[in-house]
Structure 1
Amino acid sequence: MSAPRPGTEVPWDLSFLRVGALVTGAVAAVAALVVGLTLGWADAVGVLVGAAVVTAFFVVSGVVIAWAGRINDTFTLPAALGMFFVKALVLFAVLDALPEDGWLDRLTLAWTVIVGALLWSVVQLRWVWTRPLYYVTPPAPPGQGTGSPAPGGPATRG
């Protein structure tokens, strides 16, 4: 896909963010309850914090990549790679800043981030596989012409 023509808008659909957040919220609620009852409530808080971190990271990445894509499609890969790098640095800094014996279990938080990232990946894959994605812009439906004459039709001169 090339850069959009002036006056056109590339349709960057971010509806997967809502679906991903809802799925993550539901899975995190169940997982926090199970983890709280089996391992302890400090671990359950780690599950909830980890789910919130993953959701925030995917939302920020989606918005940044869509913003870059609206400018020019060639900016999406650098934006995605740059966001991945920034998110990795932030995650490592957060995990490193947490005390080893603090109120939040770092290991539970880290595993929740891993599982959450895999869950979000599945949500995104399903979202892509179930959407009609076009390599070219589909033609306008009949009756919604673009104002130009039909091919082979009479041309007007002004």
Structure 2
Amino acid sequence: MTAAGTDRQAPWDLSFLRVGTAVTAGLTAVAAPVAGLLAGSGAAVGVLLGAAVVASFFVLSGLVIAWAGRHGDAYTLPAALGSFVVKILLLAAVLQALPADGWVDRRALAWTVVAGALVWSVVQQRWVWTRRLYYVPPPDPPPPAGPPLPPGGGPTRG
């Protein structure tokens, strides 16, 4: 409760999504051509698809958890676990829907998903470790020091 008697809730900061997406895009820009040169165009497409899957899954989870957190802290864990289950089921469906000898290298896609999840985990950990996160709302800033200024905004000369 604040001095005015109203609840003050800290906004959910989703800036890690921008960083994670940028890191994913940079790594994908390097990994896709390398995979294409080493294992063919199917591997390059698998890397591109895998990176898109991981980025979209983490963005979706971040948005769902932030939405749940705005409605109540008790909803964040069920939202996180629920979105995780949905993502795993979707990934399994995507992998099963791709033919074994199709135009997408499923192994490259799967390894990209694993590597991408690890990269996003590191991005999130670094984001948490370098941010000032309060477990309670921070105190109000102190009032300005000194006597109040006159209505003109500054000292007057006589």
Instruction: Decide which structure has the larger Cα Rg and report it.
Output: 2
Question: 2: CA distance between counterparts of 1:109 and 1:135?
Answer: 38
Deviation at 1:9, TM superposition (A): 3.4
For 2:100 and 2:74, how far apart are their aligned partners in 1? 42
Alpha-carbon offset, residue 33 of structure 1: 1.4
- Structure-2 change in CA distance of 1:6 and 1:67 (3 Å): farther
Q: Runs in 1 of length 4+ with deviation above 2 angstroms?
A: 5-10
- Structure-to-structure mapping, 1:13-24, within 5 angstroms: 13-24=13-24
How big is each residue's C-alpha offset from its partner over 1:117-145, in whole Å with a ceiling of 9 and x where there is no partner? 0000000000000001111111122228x
Query: For residues 124 and 84 of structure 1, what CA distance do their matches in structure 2 show?
Result: 16
Instruction: Say if 1:10 and 1:70, in contact at 8 Å, map to a contact too.
Output: no
Counterpart CA distance in 2 for 1:7 and 1:52 is 39
1:125 aligned to 2:125? yes
1:109-148 aligned at under 5 Å gives the runs: 109-143=109-143
List per-residue Cα deviations over 1:46-75 (Å, max 9, x = no partner). Answer: 101100000000000000000000000010
- Residue 36 of structure 1 aligns with an amino acid whose one-letter code is G
What pairs with 1:1-158 in structure 2 (closer than 5 Å)? 8-143=8-143
**Residues matched between the structures, number:** 140
Whole-angstrom distance in 1 between the partners of 2:94 and 2:13: 30
Instruction: Quote the Cα distance in structure 2 between the aligned partners of 1:124 and 1:22.
Output: 13
Whole-Å separation in 1 of the counterparts to 2:89 and 2:15:
27
TM-score, normalization by structure 1: 0.85
Which amino acid in the other structure matches residue 22 of structure 1? A
| 119-128 or 130-139, which deviates more | 130-139
Conserved 8 A contact 2:8-2:137: no
Unaligned residue ranges in structure 1 (runs of 5+) = 145-158
TM-score by length of 2: 0.85
Q: Which amino acid aligns with 1:48?
A: L
TM-aligned CA deviation for residue 6 of structure 1: 5.7
Amino acid at match of 2:38: T
Cα distance in 1 for residues equivalent to 2:101 and 2:138? 57
